[in-house]
Amino acid sequence: MNEITTILNNFLVETKASAALILNGKGKLITSLNLDYSDSIAAMSAGILSMSEKFLIDLEKGSLKQLYLKSSDGVVVGNKISGSNFVIAFSREGSNLGILMHSTDELSVELSKNSLLK
């Protein structure tokens, strides 16, 4: 396991999130854990993130830092790492949302220190 995957795995254990991935701004998968079709999910996520970023800029509300999606089966939290890299966490439990959002923000800070994600 490389350093990034180890950090991501520790995050999953600590938060009880079910899966996570890291992608760049062009939708290219950097790494993922516990996801099928990671490349497709990364590409779709990039579209959502790009449109959300443009939405905020058009409304003059700053730049996108964190994105939260809720479904009938759980939650998805995306957090900007640095530049155009994002980490996205998936959880079946919505009850730990505050902890998940805070932990995902802390994870992005930790990952931003890695030279591959700067």
Report the predicted TM-score, pTM, of the whole model to 2 decimal places. Answer: 0.89
DSSP 99: H
CATH architecture for segment(s) 1-111: 2-Layer Sandwich (3.30)
Q: Please check the confidence at residue 78 and state whether its pLDDT lies above 70.
A: yes
The domain segmentation of the chain, as residue ranges, is 1-111
Distance CA 96, CA 62 (A): 27
Q: How wide is the angle at C-alpha 89 spanned by C-alphas 58 and 55, nearest 5°?
A: 5
Which of these ranges, 31-35, 41-45, 99-103, has the smallest mean pLDDT? Answer: 99-103
Average pLDDT over residues 66-76: 91
- Give the per-residue pLDDT at 95: 63
Share the mean pLDDT of the chain.
Answer: 91
Q: Please check the confidence at residue 5 and state whether its pLDDT lies above 60.
A: yes
